[in-house]
């Protein structure tokens, strides 16, 4: 429900269409339950259609995704690219 998150999703969606790519709705993980988000991301990263990159809505979510990637044995950026937003100190 955060306006900046909606704007970032809209920008990603537009960029996909501009590049001639139809966005895959299963690659968009939204919701307020972080445990459910992590479970869905783990499924996505473990599945046959694993994306080559992740775009997180903020740096906090990017760090969570980085931890999950490491747990799954995926190396950033060698195996998967990762981007966050906000430029917090730890990023």
For the stretch 66-85, pLDDT in tens is: 999 999 999 999 999 999 98
Res 66: pLDDT? 96
φ, ψ at 20 (rounded to 5°): 80, 20
- Measured CA to CA in angstroms, residue 27 lies from 15, 44, 83, 90, 91 at distances of 15, 7, 15, 26, 23
Res 82: pLDDT? 96
From the list 62, 56, 68, the residue with the least C-alpha distance to 91 is 62
Two tokens at 24? Answer: 């895959």
Report the pLDDT averaged over residues 5-20: 94
Report pLDDT digits (tens) over 16-70: 999 999 998 888 888 778 899 999 999 999 999 899 999 998 999 999 999 999 9
Res 87: pLDDT? 87
């Amino acid at each position: 429900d955060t306006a900046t998150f909606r704007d970032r999703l809209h920008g990603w969606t537009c960029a996909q269409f501009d590049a001639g790519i139809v966005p895959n709705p299963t690659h968009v993980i939204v919701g307020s339950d972080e445990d459910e988000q992590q479970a869905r991301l783990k499924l996505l990263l473990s599945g046959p259609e694993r994306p080559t990159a992740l775009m997180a809505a903020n740096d906090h979510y990017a760090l969570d995704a980085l931890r999950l990637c490491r747990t799954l044995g995926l190396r950033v950026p060698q195996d998967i690219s990762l981007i966050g937003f906000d430029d917090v100190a730890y990023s």
